[in-house]
Structure 1
Amino acid sequence: MNDLNRALVDIANIRSQMAAGTVFQGFGPAVIGVSGVLAFLTMAGQLLWPELLVRSEATMLWLWIGVAVFSFLLIAIETRARARRFHGGLADEMVQNMVLQFMPIGFAGAAVGAVILFYSPGDFWLLPGLWQMLVALGLFASQRSLPQQIMLAAAWYFLSGVVVMILGAEAGAASVLMMGVPFTIGQFMLAGLLHVAERRESDV
Structure 2
Amino acid sequence: MSDLDKALADIFTIRSQIAAGTAFRGYGPAAVAATGGLALATAILQFLWLDDPTAHPLAFFAGWAAAALVSGGMIWTEMQARSHRHHSGLADVMIHQAIEQFLPAGLAGVLLATMLLKFAPETLWLLPGLWQVLVSLGIFASVRSLPRTVAFAGAWYFFAGFGCLLLASQSHALSPWTMGLPFVFGQLLMAAILHFASGESDVEE
TM-score normalised per structure 1:
0.93
CA distance in 2, matches of 1:26, 1:109: 23
TM-aligned CA deviation for residue 62 of structure 1 = 1.3
TM-aligned CA deviation for residue 52 of structure 1 = 8.8
TM-aligned CA deviation for residue 132 of structure 1 = 0.3
1:125 counterpart SS class: helix
For residue 80 of structure 1, what is the aligned residue in structure 2?
80
Q: In the alignment, is residue 48 of structure 1 matched against residue 48 of structure 2?
A: yes
The 1:41/1:164 distance shift into structure 2, 3 A limit, reads: same
For residue 201 of structure 1, what is the aligned residue in structure 2?
199
Q: In the alignment, is residue 27 of structure 1 matched against residue 45 of structure 2?
A: no
TM-aligned CA deviation for residue 170 of structure 1 = 1.8
For residue 155 of structure 2, what is the aligned residue in structure 1?
155
For residue 140 of structure 2, what is the aligned residue in structure 1?
140
TM-aligned CA deviation for residue 53 of structure 1 = 7.4
CA distance in 2, matches of 1:117, 1:25: 37
Contact 2:53 2:174 in 1 (8 A): no
The 1:57/1:201 distance shift into structure 2, 3 A limit, reads: same
Unaligned runs of at least 5 residues, structure 2: none
TM-aligned CA deviation for residue 54 of structure 1 = 7.5
Unaligned runs of at least 5 residues, structure 1: none
RMSD: 2.0
Percent of matched pairs sharing the same residue: 43
Instruction: Within 5 Å, give how 1:172-183 maps onto structure 2.
Output: 172-183=172-183
TM-aligned CA deviation for residue 48 of structure 1 = 2.2
The 1:174/1:55 distance shift into structure 2, 3 A limit, reads: closer
Q: After superposition, give the CA deviation of every residue in 1:113-163 in whole Å (9 maximum; x if it has no partner).
A: 111122211111110011000000001011111111111000000000011
Contact 1:24 1:146 in 2 (8 A): yes
CA distance in 1, matches of 2:159, 2:190: 15
- The count of aligned residue pairs is 202
For residue 115 of structure 1, what is the aligned residue in structure 2?
115
2:87 counterpart SS class: helix
Kindly report structure 1 stretches of 4+ aligned residues shifted beyond 4 Å.
52-55
TM-aligned CA deviation for residue 202 of structure 1 = 9.9
For residue 101 of structure 2, what is the aligned residue in structure 1?
101
